[in-house]
């Protein structure tokens, strides 16, 4: 499920085998700040960066945008992922 916390994976699966950062395509993003910064806006133009975590023993690659799961890649079924080591 997208949006899951990076901490949740570390808590259940432990530390990943490998981590790295990658950049996405050129993008433009604008919006309003958090509620504690009422009225503050932002504008971003450039390439977003993503943290990639690979779990070799599980056959899973996770991609995080900030601390939240953005996407993943695996050839395993849901049942195979649920199995304990």
Angle at 6 between CA 15 and CA 61, to 5 degrees: 65
User: Could you tell me which residue, 16 or 80, shows the higher pLDDT?
Assistant: 16
The domains of the chain are located at 6-82
pLDDT at 72: 94
pLDDT at 56: 94
Average pLDDT in the chain: 85
pLDDT grade for 40, boundaries at 50, 70 and 90 = confident
Q: pLDDT for 58-67, tens place per residue?
A: 999 999 998 9
Task: Work out the average pLDDT over 44-67.
Answer: 91
**Euclidean distance between CA atoms 60 and 39, whole angstroms:** 40
pLDDT at 15: 95
Angle at 9 between CA 6 and CA 13, to 5 degrees: 150
């Amino acid at each position: 499920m997208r949006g899951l916390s990076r901490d949740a994976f570390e808590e259940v699966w432990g530390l990943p085998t490998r981590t790295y950062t990658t950049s996405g395509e050129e993008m433009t993003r604008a919006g309003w700040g958090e509620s504690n910064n009422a009225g503050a806006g932002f504008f971003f133009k450039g390439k977003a960066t993503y943290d990639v975590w690979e779990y070799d023993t599980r056959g899973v690659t996770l991609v995080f945008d900030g601390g939240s799961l953005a996407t993943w890649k695996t050839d395993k079924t849901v049942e195979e992922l649920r199995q304990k080591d």
